[in-house]
Amino acid sequence: RMTSSSLQEITALLAKKNSFMQAVQMLTELVTTTYRTSAEAARQPLFNACKRSFTLLCSRYMAIGFWRVGKDLFSAVVIASSDEPARVKLAKEWLLRATEEVSKGDEESKGSSEPAAQMPTAQSTTQHVPPPPRPSLPAEEVEAR
């Protein structure tokens, strides 16, 4: 069962970079296990903590690892708040942003690792290489034909 003191502890952990990911994972667990069965009085502070984690992701903890755990949380919030149109709309916006950040980060990490950078390049160059130029004939021979 969720208690306000445990939520306060999690919220405090969100404020520290070295405990942010753990706090988000704890929030995800709380959302998954208690949100749907909780009264509005308990849902509101939990939703606010999720909102706070999104704000922190946008402003302070922007590395891909942080966004990955955020994406898991926001996905859980979308599912858990599906009977609350206003909240589910917000959670879907958070999830969309997290998904964009994670895929952007994945693309950047692919570009920085050697094998991943070579593979797409090799494929794209074979697909887009123009055929070798034909030997050119002098202009007089072209006209004579």
Q: Which residues of 119-143 are buried (b: 16+ CB within 10 A; e: fewer)?
A: eeeeeeeeeeeeeeeeeeeeeeeee
Total residues belonging to the chain: 145
Residue 131 pLDDT level (bands cut at 50, 70, 90): low
Complete DSSP assignment for 20-80 = HHHHHHHHHHHHHHHTTTS-HHHHHHHHHHHHHHHHHHHHT--SHHHHHHHHHHHHHHHHH
Overall average pLDDT of the 126-141 stretch: 54
Overall average pLDDT of the 109-127 stretch: 49
